[in-house]
Amino acid sequence: MKKYYLLFPLLFLFITLSAFDTSPKQQIIVSPLEISSALKEALVQGTNKSITQLSAPNGFFGNPLVKIPFPPQAQKAEGTLRKLGENQLCDNIILSLNRAAEDAAVQAAPIFIGAIKQMTLNDVMNILLGAPDAATQYFKRTTTADLTARFRPVIQVSLDKVGATKFYADGAKIYNKVPFVSKINPDLVDYATQKSIDGLFIEIAQEELNIRQNIGARPSPLMQKVFLFADKNKKF
């Protein structure tokens, strides 16, 4: 008898989901398994596309939404350095920051796959029928710590490889010699790591919105069916 009792919650959910739309011509019947499979397919698609775009050459540097500038506390220093004729040095620092982010972005793939695999049915339903960035917010909660741990050493190596740490240290040294200015910290790694992760979530949020709003971004029949159900029953 126990195995039959275990079926009752899923059966109830199946009936509940199919009952949202009572019009015979518009009725969409979806099972919990279909919802879970379709949403996870969409999330894999969206995260993979985001990672591919950002890890490509100029993925960060050529995208104004995620391009990494001088650290906020050093932007005044950037202006001063440019006035001192150090334009090339400033340009090298900015390019190096973005190249490091592009190098690190590819590290995100297994972390997102792990977060997708551990989703509960409750997570799935909250994302599917939730806010336009519900999936992005889920990823922020579940992956930020792992992304930081994975990105930081890659960014450290990349910044060293392309000379960013030297460029920035040189810039900080020149600027810190200017009389009456607040000294700047020459450490770039934490800043570049955080901005890389921020940019990744910006890109993922765009892909999430694209899948929610654009039928053409739902390539499989299952995704089309489940997101049509979501379109008719979403809470937001």
Other beta carbons within 10 angstroms of residue 22's beta carbon come to 8
State residue 140's pLDDT score.
97
Residue 10, domain member (yes or no): no
Give the HSE-up count for residue 31: Cα atoms under 13 Å, Cβ half-sphere: 7
Residue 75, domain member (yes or no): yes
Chain centroid to CA 61: how far? 16
State how many domains the chain has. 1
Residue 113, domain member (yes or no): yes
Residue 116, domain member (yes or no): yes
Q: Residue 180 carries which side chain, given as an amino acid letter?
A: F
Residue 98, domain member (yes or no): yes
Residue 22, domain member (yes or no): no
Residue-wise pLDDT tens for the chain (236 aa)? 444 444 444 444 453 455 444 444 467 788 999 999 999 999 999 999 999 999 999 999 999 999 999 887 777 778 888 988 989 888 988 998 999 999 999 999 999 999 999 999 999 999 999 999 999 999 999 999 999 999 999 999 988 876 677 777 776 677 767 775 566 555 688 889 999 999 999 999 999 999 999 999 999 999 999 999 998 887 66
Residues 6+ apart with CB under 8 A from 135: 43, 46, 127, 204, 208
Give the HSE-up count for residue 119: Cα atoms under 13 Å, Cβ half-sphere: 28
Residue 9, domain member (yes or no): no
Quote the CA–CA distance of 134 and 65 in Å, as a whole number.
20
Residue 86, domain member (yes or no): yes
Identify which of 60, 58, 70 has the alpha carbon closest to the alpha carbon of residue 191: 70
Domain coverage including residue 129: 35-231
Give the HSE-up count for residue 219: Cα atoms under 13 Å, Cβ half-sphere: 6
